[in-house]
Amino acid sequence: QIVLSQAALWNIAYQPIDVIIARADQSVLWHACPYCSLEFSCRAAARLEPGGLFCQRFQQIDLGPGPMCVLARTMQAAFPHVVAVETGRGEIVMIGTNSEAGVIQKGFKERLQRSHVRRALARMGWDWTVPLNLVAFQNDSLAELASQESSGINTAANGEFAFTLPQEVMRWGNKL
């Protein structure tokens, strides 16, 4: 089963889910900030079946590395294994799993060929081979990146993204 909506994650009867795809709006918008929070990621992690994947699109045009570090820390606080995949210019998909084998594990190629995964990829105009050719940052690289910044984890209580992302977009200077 693939769940394509944040709202559906909260509304459907509890059953383990194979893949959750969270399609939030631009992350700098205040109403999208809760979907990048620790609480949301923990809820998704609790709903996954063993080996399930949580995928969250993060549009990061005109942002520096700080918000990316916050997102990496937030996801890694909810999932033992996280991968960041660059799916296009200014877009990152964060993928988390509870599986100790990690995101890219034995049978990954076959998993991409399952009918429900192929249907989801087809909606983006992709076939099952496209994800195998994308740039990805593995769990250890993300942890190293996140350790270099002093920012914390985004939670509903601290509103890290709600208060810092608009300022980051407006900040003048080199953001690489």
> What is the model's pTM?
0.78
Residue 172 has φ and ψ, to the nearest 5°, of -90, 130
Please write the tens of the pLDDT for every residue from 84-116: 888 877 778 888 999 888 877 787 788 788 888
**Sheet of 135-137: strands edge to edge?**
2-3, 17-22, 48-59, 91-97, 81-88, 135-137
pLDDT tens profile 110-154: 878 888 888 888 887 888 788 777 777 777 888 887 777 677 888
Beta strands in the chain (DSSP E): 2-3, 17-22, 48-59, 81-88, 91-97, 135-137
Torsion of CA 15, 74, 65, 151, to 10 degrees: 160
Task: Look at residue 170 and tell me whether its pLDDT is greater than 70.
Answer: yes
